Structure 1
Amino acid sequence: MKFLGIDFGWRSQPSGLCCLTLQNKILHLLDLTRLDEVEAVLSWVDAQVSAQEPALIAVDAPTLIPNDSGMRLPDRLAHKYFGRYHAGCYPANLGSPFATRTLELGLSLEARGFCHAPTLIAQQPGRYQIEVFPHPAMVHLFKLERILKYKKGELAERRVELLKLRQYILDILPTLEPALNLSTLQGNNSLPKVPQTGRDLKELEDKLDSLICAYVAAHWWYWGIERNLVLGDRTTGYIVVPDPFNRTRPI
């Protein structure tokens, strides 16, 4: 079973992309990259997962938007449960400038057989897609008291926060179930180093966000509702959040 993470560029910016594979209950990194165009993202999906091959794709973008205005139910629930961690999400509606782009991505994945899976039977192979949001996922996975603020602020401050994220990935995700193995044949870890410049920092940010998305996909498939939360549903839109330590009561 493969697990793909797409940190999607909501407007026109590049998308971070990650592919993990599960073998003997261990996740291994197959690809970690960044691409510009939506067509390139979809071609990457096709290259990672052949026709009819089982996989679960986790997208950091609102791919279901039923409301003409205001906030979706999952957006409101994200603020309710994760606002105190500074992890409330950006509201989405059909009037949002990114709506057409993100909806079309979800439809393109559905056309490839990846059905929305706000509910599923744990560890049952299939072709699924879910919406995720890295910030609340990190709060739960890493037991944070607030989000890692690597997206805004001075370059030096963002770099420090991104260093923290990279180290959390290396230290914690290998200890969870399913465990993430990032070791190479040479004994080193396979994550890129944190760079010094702003442009390179943004590229690594997108890649690490996509890795978190891919891990959330694996965690959802592996545990289902037992160790995950679902904010919303297929009708209202939804966001899947891992909760391996039962930090938040069920929605």
Structure 2
Amino acid sequence: MALGRLHDNTLHVDYLGSEVFSNDELCRKVQDYNAVGIAIDAPLIIRNQSGMRDCERQIGKLYGAKGASCHTANLTLFPKATSVLLSQQLQTMNYEHIVGNQWQIEVYPHPAIIELFNLEYRLAYKKGNVAERKAGQFLLASHLLAIGKRLPFSLQLCNAGSVALTIAEINTLRGVQLKQNEDKLDALVCLVVAVLHYLGKSRTIGDILGGYITLPS
């Protein structure tokens, strides 16, 4: 989870953690932080009994050749998905999908990263051997630290918790620590996409009827 605020063309990251929270805990943190928008790396709307959601098929067509196709989400595989239940709970707190004074969006980091940094292929920071994953994390961290060169805001980590960003730091990580660092980098990507959505610099693949994925425009 990453919590941040945009001020003077800087995205200040106030909290960044890899803890596992219940939906109730997540909603309390969102409420306590008074968040305007929320970007979630998981399916928020699943209504198809089988097969892929239409937004997943569209992402596959657009980004499959770049190694960023979607995993399949349907009610047979995920009859009571935690992410869908979270989304519904957020709706009771007036966080509507995509638009409104308070909103929530679904994000898929791989194509988002491709768009954010104009990449030809997805970054291999989730799969491969340990050395490949570490190299991928370092590349992603380097891109995030330099977002001010491509986006209308820069990134500043406040008292956000430890995240390994240099190759020396990342090389010290093992096992669970490496996975937790990956999760923190994913959270930062979602936060960046949330800010772009707030600024009107995003596009939506799919719709709220069958599910959607929000990307940087």
TM-score (norm 1): 0.77
Name 1:153's counterpart in structure 2: 128
Name 1:217's counterpart in structure 2: 194
**Partners of 2:73 and 2:137 in 1: CA distance:** 26
Question: Residues 74-94 of structure 1, C-alpha deviation per residue, up to 9 Å, x if partnerless?
Answer: 100110101011001111111
C-alpha contact (below 8 Å) 2:193/2:202 kept by paired residues: no
* Closer/same/farther in 2, CA of residues 101 and 181 from structure 1, 3 Å limit: closer
Name 2:118's counterpart in structure 1: 143
* Closer/same/farther in 2, CA of residues 222 and 133 from structure 1, 3 Å limit: same
Q: Secondary structure at the match of 1:182?
A: strand
Question: Residues 167-205 of structure 1, C-alpha deviation per residue, up to 9 Å, x if partnerless?
Answer: 11112x1223331232669xxxx8534242121110010
Structure 2, unaligned stretches of length 5 or more?
A: none
**Partners of 1:215 and 1:166 in 2: CA distance:** 13
Q: Secondary structure at the match of 1:21?
A: strand
TM-score (norm 2): 0.89
Name 1:23's counterpart in structure 2: 7
**Partners of 2:154 and 2:54 in 1: CA distance:** 32
* Closer/same/farther in 2, CA of residues 58 and 66 from structure 1, 3 Å limit: same
Among 196, 199, 206, which residue is 2:176 paired with?
199
Q: 1:27 Cα shift?
A: 1.5
Q: Secondary structure at the match of 1:34?
A: coil
Question: Residues 41-91 of structure 1, C-alpha deviation per residue, up to 9 Å, x if partnerless?
Answer: 233223322xxxx51100111111121111111100110101011001111
Equivalenced residue count is: 209
**Partners of 2:88 and 2:66 in 1: CA distance:** 32
Q: 1:99 Cα shift?
A: 4.3
Among 13, 22, 26, which residue is 1:41 paired with?
26
**Partners of 1:228 and 1:61 in 2: CA distance:** 18
C-alpha contact (below 8 Å) 2:163/2:181 kept by paired residues: no
**Partners of 1:109 and 1:184 in 2: CA distance:** 26
Q: Choose 40-49 or 59-68, whichever is displaced more.
A: 40-49
Q: State the identity %.
A: 33
Q: Secondary structure at the match of 2:123?
A: coil
1:237 aligns with 2:211: yes
Among 77, 80, 90, which residue is 2:61 paired with?
80
